[in-house]
Chains A and B, each alone.
Chain A
């Protein structure tokens, strides 16, 4: 296939990205992760495994937590996509971002954007989560640095306003 023929396979995809309408040209089967990172320059979502196992590419689509490495861009047409870049309002951090900072929830930082979005999703479902609900809610996001303890702490802090240890 020549490169011009390939170009002709591209389509226009419109969706809401972090609250703003956006339109991007891409192949329908292009991974949302690549469209975000390469076409749109939002590099907060990371590729850890490319097969939906590690969760470091997590984003929210209509409030649902998904691995953007498994989502073809065609599938997000008309939806609301939230990435880590859409979480902080200008310079003021989201309470979960503050809590991650305060409790040591971010070490190397590579899982952090996905982990924070998973936490947002978790607190939407369970505003006052038990430890079991926190563990379950974050079980699709792997962290190799923290042993998760300080991440649990951060989620509790964001939910209850103070640490529960």
Chain B
């Protein structure tokens, strides 16, 4: 392979060899001299005042380091968007599993016994355990009205559309909490030194989020907090905000004990205490003309944020902007709110609010099709956005898109028409059906978000003539390391092998923003490209390199430059693409600099005896701009589809008193290798001028479409409507029985 074709080639994953040999170092694989272990004592009730804490008999408490809220040097909060979430409860608890005390000891086994030996007496307060209870305001548990955030989008005059409607179609759709279920549990090691400050090694997505939280907690300047990302065994949003909490805990214990402290959650603790996808309820009321064209509609979104604000406002924002799907709405009003309940805070999870509202939109589209009497394919074609039209935030679609063409291709790839005919009759006792979902996903931070982030990346020439990428963007499976090195190598016209990437360490890498929101390849990649260009220009401008060069000449020039001038670094900072305008108060304008577009089609079979749904075939077709690395891109899509199949059919969080009751892998079921259909991944490639080499974001997209496609297929098979996920066999059994009784 020549360096001219690095983009678009399936180059080897940078850290792949370490991963297949077991040499990759995750945080639990690391030990420091004198290191002890930390554990967390948590609340057992959803809401109340702490009356008394007792340390039970049978434990040599002298040997334990114990930290409480009073040990926090500065602010008792996990600084994120707001500062409402305490690091350790101080007198009151607002959700089950809220951290109250921290214990540390050299013996892990004793530590577990000690946690169990702490007993806490509470004065219970009434708890709000569901969104509807929160909305009733029978108790106020957060702010003045239990509402973390509201948004209102108004496009056109929706009140004018109802009188002309041939059909008014209404529906209510719900999605449940979902656990990220990365296979590596959350964990960190922290060390404290009076001179150097706090150092944290962890499994995390956003080194600078942890950095910010520790600065606020300890009242330390930036240079006295150091955060290092270790190899991270899956994240999916689940290691976006919560690692700040664990890091804070380990750091407090490290300061108090004077020794490095490791906190690794076991699976049960990780599942019960850390964030999940926001449960949601979306209501649609849509005016449609006789031909099935949407005239306008109202959309009402509610999300359950749990006990503290954390990221709910931004999750809701993305959900709100994606609520209209890839369709043209001449008039629309979207009202959205995130409310407080006494459950652990819900948080970031791949898709970030969009899977919830797209589930509603795509289920609703099928309902509209039935009301109008046209096929699910036809109803979508009649309403698709086209180039030059505007989204619900009045963002004009400037790129060339052809969603009908995309849909036609997916229909062909899945044999949709033939199969629907064939499935008319019951076969082998199973009922079969086909379902489609069309959707979009905006890449990067919403609205002005990227401008506020103001990300910076660096590219560095090293003494041996190789090049190193400097970003805080983390690798956790998606291929960050590989893709960013590809971009730098392509821009510098040198072999991929000559480029490496620094381990994210806040003392080494600049803040390239959090590793979230499908922004890494597109936005950080673009910055890497421009920093690499700067490095090349420095070498050429200073006379060390000619305008055209071989990789050997580049290497020699780089070596010489570093030898003479000591350092060769080039940095690049984010600049908003021209023509991007966003009004945060009206929620109008360019919400994202690029959208990825997709059509997914599911074929399902429902077993008439067990009522289990199996997905038999799955076609995932998407337009994501330029595919930078076909193997990684395909892996992202297939993995996202699998996770979304779990969201649709398997993964049910059972709540008891605000607490997850099934916090084990044995009773919270994710798809195994025998549960999945062939996931057939296809790409359309259009250039996106904003992204690195035309890339758009891709990571979250595959989470959006599978659930509605699958539930649409179940409706096609059963002729029964299901509007809530996860859709479990017992739900289908119940619906079938009810219908037969009626």
Specify which of A46, A107, A139, A146 lies most central, judged by the most chain B CB atoms within 10 Å of its CB: A107
Return A158 CB to nearest CB of chain B, in Å.
12
Return A16 CB to nearest CB of chain B, in Å.
18
Structural contact, A146 and B638, CB atoms closer than 8 A: yes
Given contacts A51-B267, A84-B21, A148-B673, contact A46 B233 (CB under 8 A): yes
Structural contact, A106 and B267, CB atoms closer than 8 A: no
Give the docked Cα–Cα distance between A110 and B664 (Å).
18
Given contacts A144-B234, A148-B642, contact A104 B635 (CB under 8 A): yes
Given contacts A108-B232, A108-B234, A142-B672, contact A147 B183 (CB under 8 A): no
Contacts of B16 in A (CB 8 A): 101, 106
Return B328 CB to nearest CB of chain A, in Å.
32
Structural contact, A48 and B183, CB atoms closer than 8 A: yes
Structural contact, A43 and B234, CB atoms closer than 8 A: no
Give the docked Cα–Cα distance between A84 and B19 (Å).
10
Instruction: Answer yes or no: B528 CB below 8 A from chain A CBs.
Output: no
Structural contact, B635 and A93, CB atoms closer than 8 A: no
Give the docked Cα–Cα distance between A156 and B237 (Å).
32
Structural contact, A150 and B634, CB atoms closer than 8 A: yes
Instruction: Answer yes or no: B407 CB below 8 A from chain A CBs.
Output: no
For the residues of B in contact with A, the DSSP-based class is: loop
Given contacts A144-B236, A144-B643, A145-B477, contact A108 B184 (CB under 8 A): yes
Structural contact, A112 and B234, CB atoms closer than 8 A: no
Can you list, as one digit per residue, whether each of B17-40 has a CB less than 8 Å from chain A (1) or not (0)? 111111111101100000000000
Neighbour of B635 across the interface among A37, A84, A146, CB < 8 A: A146
Give the docked Cα–Cα distance between A51 and B271 (Å).
14
Q: How many A-B residue pairs have CB under 8 A?
A: 165
Specify which of A54, A109, A136, A150 lies most central, judged by the most chain B CB atoms within 10 Å of its CB: A109
Instruction: Answer yes or no: A40 CB below 8 A from chain B CBs.
Output: no
Instruction: Answer yes or no: A120 CB below 8 A from chain B CBs.
Output: no
Structural contact, A48 and B631, CB atoms closer than 8 A: no
Structural contact, A113 and B672, CB atoms closer than 8 A: no
Instruction: Answer yes or no: B258 CB below 8 A from chain A CBs.
Output: no
Give the docked Cα–Cα distance between A144 and B233 (Å).
10
Residues 80 to 114 of chain A near chain B (Cβ within 8 Å): 83-85, 87-88, 93, 97, 100-101, 103-113
Structural contact, A108 and B635, CB atoms closer than 8 A: no
Neighbour of B665 across the interface among A87, A108, A142, CB < 8 A: A142
Structural contact, A110 and B234, CB atoms closer than 8 A: yes
Instruction: Answer yes or no: A143 CB below 8 A from chain B CBs.
Output: yes
Give the docked Cα–Cα distance between A148 and B646 (Å).
13
Instruction: Answer yes or no: B694 CB below 8 A from chain A CBs.
Output: no
Can you list, as one digit per residue, whether each of A8-29 has a CB less than 8 Å from chain B (1) or not (0)? 0000000000000000000000
| Chain B contact residue count (CB 8 A cutoff) | 56
Taking CB as reference atom, which chain A residue is nearest B106? A3
Structural contact, A84 and B267, CB atoms closer than 8 A: no
Instruction: Answer yes or no: B129 CB below 8 A from chain A CBs.
Output: no
Neighbour of A147 across the interface among B26, B29, B676, CB < 8 A: B676
Give the docked Cα–Cα distance between A46 and B264 (Å).
12
Taking CB as reference atom, which chain A residue is nearest B25? A43
Give the docked Cα–Cα distance between A164 and B477 (Å).
25
Can you list, as one digit per residue, whether each of B218-262 has a CB less than 8 Å from chain A (1) or not (0)? 000000000000011111100000000000000000000000000
Structural contact, A112 and B679, CB atoms closer than 8 A: no
Taking CB as reference atom, which chain B residue is nearest A103? B631
Give the docked Cα–Cα distance between A146 and B18 (Å).
18
Give the docked Cα–Cα distance between A53 and B267 (Å).
11
Taking CB as reference atom, which chain B residue is nearest A84? B22
Instruction: Answer yes or no: A141 CB below 8 A from chain B CBs.
Output: yes
Give the docked Cα–Cα distance between A138 and B643 (Å).
17
Give the docked Cα–Cα distance between A144 and B180 (Å).
9
Structural contact, A108 and B477, CB atoms closer than 8 A: yes
Given contacts A56-B183, A149-B638, A149-B679, contact A136 B17 (CB under 8 A): no
Return B165 CB to nearest CB of chain A, in Å.
41
Return A145 CB to nearest CB of chain B, in Å.
4
Contacts of A149 in B (CB 8 A): 634, 638, 676, 678-679
Instruction: Answer yes or no: B639 CB below 8 A from chain A CBs.
Output: yes
Structural contact, A104 and B664, CB atoms closer than 8 A: no
Contacts of A105 in B (CB 8 A): 20
Neighbour of B267 across the interface among A50, A83, A104, CB < 8 A: A50
Give the docked Cα–Cα distance between A47 and B268 (Å).
12
Structural contact, A104 and B634, CB atoms closer than 8 A: yes
Contacts of B181 in A (CB 8 A): 144
Instruction: Answer yes or no: B666 CB below 8 A from chain A CBs.
Output: yes
Specify which of A43, A46, A101, A144 lies most central, judged by the most chain B CB atoms within 10 Å of its CB: A144
Return B602 CB to nearest CB of chain A, in Å.
14
Give the docked Cα–Cα distance between A109 and B232 (Å).
8
Could you list 8 examples of A-B contacts with CB < 8 Å?
A: A37-B29, A42-B22, A43-B26, A43-B28, A104-B632, A105-B20, A142-B665, A147-B639
Closest 7 CB pairs of A and B: A44-B22, A110-B233, A108-B477, A109-B19, A147-B642, A107-B477, A84-B22
Q: Which residues of A contact B (CB under 8 A)?
A: 37, 42-51, 53-54, 56, 83-85, 87-88, 93, 97, 100-101, 103-113, 116, 134-136, 138-139, 141-152
New contact pairs (17) apart from A54-B665, A110-B183, CB-CB < 8 Å: A43-B25, A43-B29, A46-B26, A101-B20, A107-B639, A108-B234, A109-B20, A109-B231, A135-B673, A138-B673, A139-B673, A142-B665, A143-B183, A144-B234, A147-B642, A147-B679, A148-B673
